[in-house]
Structure 1
Amino acid sequence: MEELKVTLIQSHLHWENPVANHTHFSAVFDTIKEATDLIVLPEMFTTGFTMNAELLAEKSDGTTVLWMQSEANKHNAAITGSLIIEDQGLYYNRLFFVHPDGTIDTYNKKHTFTLAGEHKIFTAGKNLQQIKYKGWKIRPLVCYDLRFPVWARNTDAYDVLLYVANWPDRRVAAWDALLKARAIENLSYCIGVNRTGLDGNGHPYTGHSAAYDVLGEQISTPLFEKEFVETITLKKEHIEKNRKQLQFLNDADHFTLE
């Protein structure tokens, strides 16, 4: 596909209440007015950013993943977002990318947020993921990963860098700056979807969900604090034209991740 339509959903989250969040997002999906290829939800979209993993963790074939498969099939669109998963006795902040046919790609958050003690509860992921979807190559990452540019480095010619997040208002200026920077330095589209509202710990979130083209120009509507649904169109021609003309990725330093 030469174009990919991506729907950003910036929303409040019901604290530690997966059923309420399923109901909420099912209703939101039904409001999407145009055909879309991919629907993006925030980080930990079933619970909010909680450390109460023992109580709230699900299995990879649990209720939320089954719900995602059902909704992806219903809307003929992939759905992505992260949730708390228990796997062989360990807890992960795991992003799921559920294709319309029900197949699944996953990514475990690499950089656990030490300031909130996430590293004490959740096991850090070790592997990058590159998702192939409708002829597009997508690199999914989660929230705090945004602060670490080496992990996002475009050595695999991906087309889209995708972040799902619960990024609080007090540090939202960093979110704005780093999303734009990741697009520019990787010559890729960069999309970040964040939540709004107060979480169960009283932390406010003001959204600032955004999508940038390969030159760092914002192609989504700047909407802060409010809940919104917006579908944007990504174009392969834009990527190919600018990479051919600029060739910045060819001049990158070469090193190996450990």
Structure 2
Amino acid sequence: MNKDLKVAIIQTDLVWENPEENRRVLNDKINAISTNVDLIVLPEMFTSGFTMNPVLVAETMDGDTITWLKEKAKEKEAVIMGSLVISENNNFYNRMVCVEPSGVITTYDKRHTFTLAGEHNVYTAGTEKVMFNYKGWKICPLVCYDLRFPVWARNAEDYDLLIYVANWPKVRINAWDALLKARAIENMTYCIGVNRVGLDGNNHEYSGHSAAFDVLGNRMDNLSENEDAIAIVVLEKDTITKYREKLNFLNDRDDFNLKV
């Protein structure tokens, strides 16, 4: 089994509250990935932008977007992941979906809803930290505002890869840059953050700054600010093993239980 994991980061503008058009645009971008990859990562709320009008864009787990993701994952022989608005049990969720080529789906509902924008008044917060395994890699998916809360991301499970998808505005992008790097260092894990670019329907500006960091906090990608582009990074499992065994920092983790 190949110990490396090849990840495609799609940093893109999003069409405001228009799932059909976003699927069309993203379909073209995914098709443009000419090399074989294992994971394809889309931004937060990739069908709509960060909207507080879920009734306009919400779908179900057997809706058009999930059907499309299953088709594309099978076609590209890669996991495709990102978050979208899901309606379930009379609630709306900002849900990360991780769709495997086999059709298996792992879901994570955003734990920390963004109170500054009133997300907590519209979307139901998740209660479970989620992992999924793919090609020998243990992967932890999280969403945007979760990045500000290191206890939730704490690597108690010895995961290998931490992935954040986001609509993180330009005005606070310094925090995004610093915290992504910190999550990689403190958890001795690869950490990838995928953020959008462009203006949304509320005139909030997004400058991207999607990035991949290794276990020592070294930047791995070459994406530029405001760039609508795709970056591909190769993660090496041996690098994790090498530095965890050499430095043993995770062995000194504090032992505590988190109340949700």
Letter in 2 for 1:172: I
Once the 2 structures are TM-superposed, how far is the Cα of residue 101 of structure 1 from its aligned partner?
1.1
Q: Does residue 46 in structure 1 map to residue 44 in structure 2?
A: no
CA displacement 1:45-74 (0-9 Å, x = unmatched): 000000101221110111100000011111
TM-score (normalised: structure 1): 0.99
Tell me, yes or no, if structure 1 residue 169 matches structure 2 residue 166. no
- Secondary structure of 1:176 counterpart: helix
**Alignment match, 1:102:** 103
**For residues 119 and 34 of structure 2, what CA distance do their matches in structure 1 show?**
37
CA-to-aligned-CA distance 1:186-206 (integer Å, 9 cap, x gap):
000000000000000000000
Residue 92 of structure 1 is matched in structure 2 by 93
Q: Distance in 2 between matches of 1:68 and 1:222?
A: 24
Q: Could you say what secondary structure the match of 2:113 adopts? A: coil
Matches within 5 A, 1:1-258: 1-258=2-259
Write the distance in 2 (CA, Å) between the matches of 1:51 and 1:114.
Answer: 11
State the Cα distance separating 1:132 from its structure 2 match.
0.5
Instruction: Mark the runs of 5 or more structure 2 residues left unpaired by the alignment.
Output: none
Give the Cα–Cα distance (whole angstroms) in 1 for the partners of residues 240 and 152 of structure 2: 21
Equivalent-residue separation in structure 2 for 1:141 and 1:89 (angstroms): 23
Q: Distance in 2 between matches of 1:73 and 1:156?
A: 29
CA distance in 2 between counterparts of 1:174 and 1:9 reads: 21
Give the residue type in structure 2 aligned to 1:18. Answer: P
**In structure 1, what residue type is equivalent to 2:38?**
D
Q: Distance in 1 between matches of 2:143 and 2:59?
A: 18
List 4+ stretches of structure 1 deviating above 2 A: none
SS of corresponding position for 2:225: coil
CA deviation vs aligned residue, 1:93-120 (integer Å, no higher than 9, x gap): 0000000111100000000000000000
CA RMSD of aligned residues (A): 0.6
**Aligned partners of 2:3 and 2:176: how far apart in 1?**
29
- Give the SS at the match of 2:147: helix
Say whether the 8 Å CA contact 2:81–2:98 is kept in structure 1: yes
Q: Is the 8 A contact 2:17 2:56 kept in 1?
A: no
Measured in 2, the distance between the counterparts of 1:94 and 1:60 equals 10
User: In 2, Cα distance between the equivalents of 1:20 and 1:91?
Assistant: 21
Alpha-carbon distance between aligned partners in 1 of 2:207 and 2:102, rounded to the nearest angstrom: 34
Asked if structure 1 preserves the Cα contact closer than 8 Å seen for 2:87 and 2:93, the reply is: yes
Letter in 1 for 2:48: T
Looking at structure 2, the residues matched to 99 and 61 of structure 1 have their Cα atoms a distance apart, in angstroms, of 15
Q: TM-score, normalised by structure 2?
A: 0.98
